[in-house]
Amino acid sequence: MLESLISARTFKCFCYGYHLFRRWKLSKYIKIVEQTPLLSNAQKFVRFWNRALKGELFVGLWLVFKEFYKAQIHTVQYPLEKLPLSPRYRAVHELKRLLESGNERCIGCGLCEKICVANCIRMETGYGEDRRKKVFEYSINFGRCIYCGLCAEVCPELAIVHGKRYENASEQRASFALKNDMLTPIDKVLSGRDSEFSGVGSISVDADKHIKLTPLKYLEETDENAIKTTAEIKQKEEVNA
């Protein structure tokens, strides 16, 4: 009997609390019925004028026409004109040669092949007739290459660099993967039309100023003084003779 009374009282309290909560929730929202008044043709025209033909529209049109009829054109007339590229620009790779002899700079160390994150460099090396290590095949799959520049950065001989040739559209991806396509032509080197690479990784013009003297520099100075002393002694002997 006691349990039934407690249950009934609990249910009554729950119903009363739910009733209060419902009244409180409904009191938060007020519904307002607002009817849009009908506009006349004149009012519609004024509304269209205010929304569409504001002053900002004419300001923008004036700026466009002012730039349109200027004599100086900022547009680059490509392909007759091209923007200058930064020395750090990473385009299609180039294999360099030595300017003095025209020989290939690549020594076949394989560092570029090992560091390539895209695994797109392949190299075949061997010994030539003079028993020196040579690179017979060198290819880069430009379909996989991400042009990160790690191969050019790790090269100890500055043999592989990023050039400035970015117009490499072709029907076949294999057209730009062979060694002969990237290697600097030998006639360009022998004729003196090629120059030292000045991009990322190259030696600066004032590099000699930043070289510190080695601890053995005093030996060179001693040798120079000894040579001068020997030359002076010979001159004196010749004069006395």
Residues contributing to the annotated binding site for [4Fe-4S] cluster: 106, 109, 112, 116, 145, 148, 151, 155
Picking from 155, 184, 33, the residue whose alpha carbon sits closest to that of residue 97 is 184
Picking from 22, 143, 161, 138, the residue whose alpha carbon sits closest to that of residue 91 is 161
- Only one residue has tokens 């002997």, namely 237
Give yes or no for a cis peptide into 79 (omega within 30° of 0): yes
CB neighbours (10 Å) of residue 215?
Answer: 7
List residues forming the annotated binding site: 106, 109, 112, 116, 145, 148, 151, 155
Q: How far apart (Å, rounded) are the C-alpha atoms in residues 236 and 54?
A: 101
Per the document, the length of the chain is 241
CB neighbours (10 Å) of residue 34?
Answer: 5
Please report, in angstroms and rounded to a whole number, the separation of the first and last CA atoms in the chain. Answer: 149
Picking from 133, 144, 153, 36, the residue whose alpha carbon sits closest to that of residue 90 is 153
- Taking the alpha carbons of 179, 180, 186, 191 in that order, is the dihedral positive or negative? negative
- Only one residue has tokens 């100075």, namely 221
